[in-house]
Chain A
Amino acid sequence: QSVLTQPPSVSGAPGQRVTISCTGSSSNLGAGYDVHWYQQFPGAAPKLVIYANNNRPSGAPDRFSGSKSGTSASLTITGLQAEDEADFYCQSFDKSLSGAVFGGGTRLTVL
């Protein structure tokens, strides 16, 4: 049971927009801690795509955007492309655990 809750899967057709949610609690997202997002392809290490709620690192496609409000956050991918198909994880800090916490991951399927 992950501290941050994500839907197991989402899907969308090429060109569409998809949103992946991440729900936390008053001990992490609700306490004001930032949320970060990682994309992971099969057999590869996770790669940062959004940091500090809504910032893209260098090299991340501008089709990726993030938002956070209260105990929830979301990653939105617009103009979905086949190459976006991967697993996505949200991550934050939890003050009760005094450490990083991850979501359970969401598998994005491009139809």
Chain B
Amino acid sequence: QITLKESGPTLVKPTQTLTLTCTFSGFSLSTSGEGVGWIRQPPGKALEWLTLIYWDDGKRYSPSLKSRLSITKDTSRDQVVLTMTNTDTVDTATYYCAHRRITAAGQYFDRWGQGTLVTVSS
């Protein structure tokens, strides 16, 4: 059974760097085809895809946030780390990590973590 859980600070000040960790079980990111993504949701708003990391260390970023995001993996600890620099109040959101599956024509997220609410405020 695949499970994921996000952890990190609940409050960060504007301009600070936000670091979130996704700890997962039930699969290995060293297995061909596997991937983990980060998605966020501001309060009362829609889901927004941020980034994705693949088993081969390939990475994809949302073009609008690419300059501020970094994603890494630690396969020995079954963890994925999201780093967001120069945070702003608009980055206040619930951040989810999710397990990615592929189809013949795309990819989707079949298992999600519970999410962690991060507030950016001075």
Q: How many A residues touch the partner, as a band? A: 20 to 34
Interface residues contributed by chain B, number (CB under 8 Å): 25
Whether B101 is near chain A, meaning CB under 8 Å from some CB there, is yes
Query: In whole angstroms, what is the CA distance A32 to B96 when docked?
Result: 27
Please give me the residue from chain A that is nearest to B6 by CB atom.
A45
Query: In whole angstroms, what is the CA distance A91 to B96 when docked?
Result: 15
Residue contact B101 to A51, C-beta cutoff 8 Å: yes
Residue contact A92 to B106, C-beta cutoff 8 Å: yes
Query: In whole angstroms, what is the CA distance A46 to B115 when docked?
Result: 10
Whether B112 is near chain A, meaning CB under 8 Å from some CB there, is yes
Known A34-B106, A91-B108, A93-B107: A102·B49 in contact at CB below 8 Å = yes
Per-position contact with A for B51-89: 1 when CB-CB < 8 Å, else 0?
010000000111100000000000000000000000000
Chain B residue numbers with a CB within 8 Å of A97 are 62-63
**Partner of B46 from A47, A92, A104 at Cβ < 8 Å:** A104
Chain B residue numbers with a CB within 8 Å of A2 are 46
**Partner of B113 from A45, A47, A48 at Cβ < 8 Å:** A45
Contact count A vs B, C-beta below 8 Å: 73
**Partner of B52 from A47, A57, A99, A103 at Cβ < 8 Å:** A99
Known A34-B103, A46-B47: A99·B108 in contact at CB below 8 Å = no
Please list the residues of chain A having a beta carbon within 8 angstroms of any beta carbon in chain B.
2, 32-34, 36, 38, 45-48, 51-52, 57, 89, 91-93, 97-105
Min Cβ gap A11→B in Å is 19
Please give me the residue from chain B that is nearest to A48 by CB atom.
B110
Residue contact B112 to A45, C-beta cutoff 8 Å: yes
Whether B105 is near chain A, meaning CB under 8 Å from some CB there, is yes
Give 27 A-B contacts (CB < 8 Å), ordered by A residue: A32-B105, A34-B103, A34-B105, A34-B106, A34-B108, A38-B47, A45-B96, A46-B112, A48-B110, A51-B101, A51-B110, A52-B103, A52-B104, A52-B106, A57-B110, A89-B46, A89-B47, A91-B49, A91-B109, A93-B107, A97-B62, A99-B49, A99-B63, A100-B49, A100-B107, A102-B47, A102-B48
